[in-house]
Each structure stands twice: as C-alpha cells, then as structure tokens.
Amino acid sequence: MTDLNLWKRQLGAVPDEVWERTELETLVLADNGLVEISPELARLQRLRMLDLGHNALARLPDAIGELVNLTDFLYLHDNRLSELPASIAKLTGLRYLNLSNNLFTALPDAVCELAALVELRALDNQLSALPDRIGRLTRLRELHLRNNALATLPASIGELTALRQLDLRGNPLRTLPAALLELPALEKLDLRWTPALEPPAWLAQLEARGALVYR
C-alpha cells in the first residue's frame, strides 16, 4: 500500500512506525492534535502528497525540504504556523500549497521559490504585504488571499502571467496596481468586502475583455 490515511484518529503524536513506511506516496495526518512532526519525515522519499492540516503545529522540521518528490499537494492549513523553514524552497516540483488559517504576517520567502506552484491558498492569516518576489510564481493559476491585512499589492503581481483567479475578499485594500491589467489569463478577480477600496477606472478594461470582477 502506498497510501496511508490517519485522518482524525486522535493520535496526539505520529507513531514511529509511520516513518518506517518508506513506500508511502500519500500520507494524511490531518486533525490529530499534532504539535510537532519528527525529522524522521525525511525518510518518506516517495511522498507526493502530505496532509498536516487541522493540527496544532507551530513549526515544521527542516527535514520537510528533503521530500523532493512532494509534487502534488502539501496541506498545512488550520495550524499555528507563523513561519516556514527555508528548506521548503527545495520543493521545486510542488503544485499545490495550502497555508490558510495560520498566523502568518508575511508570506515566507521560501514560498516564492516554488516555481511549479499552480495553486496557493493563504486565506485567513494576517498578511500585511506580499513580497516582490511573488512574481517568480509564473505558473500560478489561482491565488487565494481572502481575509488578510493587505492594503495594497506589489506591481510584480503583473508577472503572474498564468494567473486565472485572484481572491482578495475581506482585505483593507486601498489601492490596486495597474499591473493587474497585464495578467493575460485572468478570469476572476474578487474584490468583495473591501470597503476602503476606491475601484480604479481600469477595472472596466478587465471586464471588457471577459474577466469577472466581483465588487
């Protein structure tokens, strides 16, 4: 068996025998009250999907960066994370990352090195700004940032040429960069629940070319 699903087993800690399952490609440890993950995680070199969501993790081991075959999904949502180890940047084939419902005040720099990312979810955090380096995520199709503390966006967001969906709901946005007009694939821009934002006139140009703008 290459899949192990231990969802909601009230484990409290990951049994040592899990780290001996070196054949695993999918590992679900969600909703177990976990407060730490052993560096032994690095033994699972075949993992393609790892679900650590709905736990109480405040940090991750540097060893997570050794999972070089982790390409499909990494779920870290609903934890107590405020930072990620720099080694996360080694996961250059990862396509989906969920950081939602954590304690991030800034998007970790390592995330901007994940060049294969197709979908990034960072909803319900405390992000006050996005790094300029976010423009490196040129394969990103969906960026979900609902309910953060963003007042503006960097101009480099215009470099996300594959972006189709951008969710900015519930942020204290005051301005939007005109660089959003440079997103040729943009299909949906969600600006609802942003009362401080004076919608720029150029939004009409986005709508004219077929993009859905919710405001």
- DSSP assignment of 84-146 equals --GGGGG-TT--EEE--SS--SS--GGGGG-TT-SEEE--SS------GGGGG-TT--EEE--
Average pLDDT over residues 58-81: 98
Give the pLDDT confidence score for residue 204 in this predicted structure.
96
| C-alpha triplet 80, 82, 87: angle, nearest 5° | 110
What letter does residue 104 receive in the DSSP assignment?
A: -
Q: Which helix (DSSP H) or strand (DSSP E) does residue 4 occupy? A: strand 3-5
What letter does residue 208 receive in the DSSP assignment?
A: H
Tell me the sheet residues that pair with 212. 188
- Is residue 210 exposed (0-12), middle (13-18) or buried (19+ Cβ within 10 Å)? exposed
Give tens-digit pLDDT for 90-130: 999 999 999 999 999 999 999 999 999 999 999 999 999 99
Give tens-digit pLDDT for 2-54: 999 999 999 999 999 999 999 999 999 999 999 999 999 999 999 999 999 99
Give the pLDDT confidence score for residue 193 in this predicted structure.
98
Q: Which pTM does this prediction carry?
A: 0.98
Model confidence at 160, pLDDT cuts 50, 70, 90, reads very high
Model confidence at 59, pLDDT cuts 50, 70, 90, reads very high
Give the pLDDT confidence score for residue 55 in this predicted structure.
98
Give tens-digit pLDDT for 176-202: 999 999 999 999 999 999 999 999 999
Give the pLDDT confidence score for residue 8 in this predicted structure.
97
- Contact (Cβ atoms closer than 8 angstroms) between residue 147 and residue 128: no
Give the pLDDT confidence score for residue 9 in this predicted structure.
97
Domains of the chain: 127-215 (3.80.10.10)
Longest dimension (CA), the chain: 59
What is the number of other CB atoms lying within 10 angstroms of the CB of residue 53? Answer: 20
Q: What type of residue sits at position 102?
A: N
